[in-house]
Structure 1
Amino acid sequence: MTQIKICGLKNRAAVDAAVAAGADYLGFVFAESPRQVAPEEVRELTQEVPEEIKKVGVFVSPEEAEVEEIVAIAGLDMIQIHGRSNLTELSRPIIRAFNIEDQETSYFFNYPHLLLDAPPAKLMGGNGQTFNWHLVDQRRLPKEKLWLAGGLKPENVGEAIRFFQPRAVDVSSGVETNGEKDHAKIKAFCQAVKAVDRQEFI
C-alpha cells in the first residue's frame, strides 16, 4: 500500500481534512516559506491526531540543535531535510530530499528514507513543479526507501505511483487552491492513491 503525506499544513481544519481523508503523514514546514509554522502551533494543531499518523517536520539546511529543539516542542515523529546538510543521525528518522541533479551523490542512499523531489525553484519544495520522470535512473533507486514528490496532484498521482512504485507520495501545492489547502483536493488525492492500490490487488 502506498502511504500518503499531506505537507504544508497550517491550521486545524486542514489537519482534520488530511486525517479524515486517510493521510499517513502530516507535514509541517519550519523553513522560510508561506507555509511556515511555529513548533508551538504544531503541538497545538496535532493534539488530537491519532498516534499512528506521523508528524513530519520539514527543514532546509538546518543545524542539529535547531532541529532537536523543534522536535521536542512540536512533538515530531520524523524529520525531512532539504538543501545542503551533513546531518545523518538525529533523534528521529530522517527523510532526505534529493532530486535528479543529485543522482550521483551516493551518500543520500545511506538515509532510511529518500524523497525524490523536483529540482529547487523559488522554494526548496512545494513549488508544484513536475520533472521529467524518465531522467531518473530507477535501477539505482531503493524502492523500499523511496518517497515521491514534485508536482503531484489528484490527476497525476496514480500515473506517478505506477511509474515509480514508491513507498510514499508527498503533496503540498497539488492540494491547494489560491495558496490554501483545499479539503476537496486532499480527499481526491488520497482517493486517487488508494484507487491505484486497489487495482494492484485485483
Structure 2
Amino acid sequence: MRSQGRRWRACWRLVGRRCSIEAGVTRIKVCGITRREDAVAAVAAGIDALGWVFYPRSSRYVAPDHAALLASHLPPFLTRVGLFVNAPVAEILATVARGFLECVQLHGDETAQECLQLRQALREARLSITLVKAVRVAAAADLPDPALWPVDALLLDAKVRGHYGGSGHCFDWSVLDKEWRGMAGSAGKPFILAGGLTPDNVAEAIGRVQPYAVDLSSGVESAPGVKDAQAMLRLVQQVRQADLGSRSLGFR
C-alpha cells in the first residue's frame, strides 16, 4: 500500500511539473518547517512543497523522526522535501527508506560525481526519489553547467560565507540570462530560485527570470524556524499575480 501511494505521488509530481511548465504556474516551496501549525498554515495558503532541514548546525534543524511525524499529518499531492548538507550516502538512504519524502535536496558542497553516486545508490536500493542540487551563486562564474549535473533540478541560492542557505540574502538575478536559462531548458533541468526571496520581491524575481519554482525560508518567518501564516498567504498571492503578468507578456 505504501509503495502504491508513493507511485501515485511520483506520478502527480510529473504531471504537476509538466503542467507548471506549460501553463506558466510557478511552484512554491517553503523550507525549514519545524512546527505542525506552520505546516498546516502552509498547506492552507496553497504552498506546493514543504522542506525539512536535516542539517544539525542549522537553526531550523529537525530530526527525521519529527519530520516523519509532521509529514504524517499532511494531505496527499504535497511534495515533501528533505534537505541534507554533506551527509553520508547511508544517512540519506536510511531517511528516504522511511517513505515520507518525495524529494532530496543536497544543499552542501556535493560534487556532480557524488550526486551520481547517490543516484546509483538510490537505484540499487530501489528507492525512487526526485533529486535536487543547490548551487550557491554570487556571480555568473558560479553558475553550473546544467548538462553536467546528474540531478532532476538545480536550485540557485545566494553565496554567503558561513551559510549553506537561509541567509536572507539575494544574489544578482541578472546573471541568469537567457543563454543560461536556455542551457538549463535544453538539458531538461528546471531551476529553482532561492536566496533572500520574500513576498515583497518574489514577483519581480519571477518576472525577470521565470524560474520553475521559488524556495523561501527566512522570507516567510517571524523567527528562525517559526513561519508567518500571513506572509505565506501573501507569498502565494504575489506568485500567482506574477504568473498572470508573465503570461500576459508572453514569457510563458
Tell me, yes or no, whether TM beats 0.5.
Answer: yes
Secondary structure of 1:27's aligned partner: strand
Alignment match, 1:11: 35
Distance 1:187 1:74 in 2: 29
**1:21–1:187: 8 Å Cα contact kept in structure 2?**
yes
1:35 aligned residue: 60
User: In structure 2, which of residues 173, 176, 197 is the aligned counterpart of residue 133 of structure 1?
Assistant: 173
**Residue aligned with 1:56, SS:** strand
Larger Rg: 2
Could you tell me which runs of 5 or more consecutive residues in structure 2 were left unpaired when the two chains were aligned: 1-24
**Corresponding residue number in structure 1 for 2:193:** 148
Which residue number corresponds to residue 68 of structure 1? 93
From 232, 235, 247, the counterpart of 1:186: 232
Higher helix share: 2
Confirm or deny that 1:173 pairs with 2:173.
Answer: no
Q: How many positions carry a matched residue from both structures?
A: 202
Question: TM-score of the superposition, structure 2-length normalised?
Answer: 0.75
Distance 1:94 1:159 in 2: 27
Query: What is the RMSD of the two structures over their aligned residues, measured on CA atoms?
Result: 1.8
Q: Check 1:73–1:196 CA distance in 2 against 1; reply closer, same or farther (3 A cut).
A: same
CA contact (8 A) 2:135 2:144 kept: no
Query: In structure 2, what residue type is equivalent to 1:68?
Result: L
**Separation in structure 1 between the aligned mates of residue 246 and residue 171 of structure 2, nearest angstrom:** 25
SS at match of 2:73: coil
Structure 2 Cα separation of the partners of residues 55 and 156 of structure 1: 25
Provide the rounded CA distance (Å) in 1 between the counterparts of 2:145 and 2:26: 26
Match of 2:132 among 95, 101, 110: 95
Aligned with residue 23 of structure 1, among 47, 57, 62: 47
1:82: Cα distance to partner? Answer: 1.5
C-alpha change, 1:83 and 1:105, in structure 2 (3 Å) is farther
Give the Cα separation in 2 of the matches to 1:35 and 1:190.
22
Equivalent residue, structure 2, for 1:48: 73
Alpha-carbon shift at residue 196 of structure 1 (Å): 1.2
On the 8 A contact 2:203/2:239 being kept in 1, the answer is: yes
Q: How far apart in 2 are the matches of 1:106 and 1:170?
A: 19
Deviation at 1:200, TM superposition (A): 3.5
Gaps of 5+ in 1: none
When structure 1 is superposed on structure 2, of 131-140 and 88-97 the one drifting more is: 131-140
**Structure 1 stretches of at least 4 aligned residues deviating more than 4 Å after TM superposition:** 104-108
Structure 1 residue 121: Cα displacement: 3.2
Deviations, residues 9-39 of structure 1 (Å, cap 9, x unaligned): 0010000011011111100000120000011
Residues 172/186 of structure 1: CA separation in 2 closer, same or farther (3 Å cut) = same
Against the structure 1 CA distance between its residues 138 and 122, is the aligned structure 2 distance closer, same or farther, given a 3 Å change threshold? Answer: farther
Checking the alignment, whether the CA contact within 8 Å between 2:29 and 2:213 is kept in structure 1 is: yes
